[in-house]
Amino acid sequence: MSRLSREKKREQQRAAHAANLAAAPIDVRVPIGGEVACTASVGGVPVIAGPGEEIQQAVLDRLHRIA
């Protein structure tokens, strides 16, 4: 059986780490219309919509940055 090169081992470790991150659930909370409609949270971190931006778009942007 041949030994893996250091570079190949690093690639496998990175791939395994990325797979673990992708498999972890992320808690996303977006308020309904009656509540404060310009804030939400992604993974417990507050997300605030900018002027003229919908909160849903701000949450999606944050999720894209995480992915």
- Write the single-letter amino acid at 24: A
Q: Which whole number is the average pLDDT over 16-30?
A: 76
Per-residue DSSP letters for 11-29? HHHHHHHHHHHHHS---EE
The pTM assigned to this predicted structure is 0.59
Calpha distance 13→57 (Å, rounded):
33
Residue 35 has pLDDT above 60, yes or no: no
Residue 34 has pLDDT above 60, yes or no: no
Alpha carbon distance 54, 27 (integer Å): 19
Beta partners for 59? none
Q: How confident is the model at residue 47 (pLDDT cuts 50, 70, 90)?
A: very high
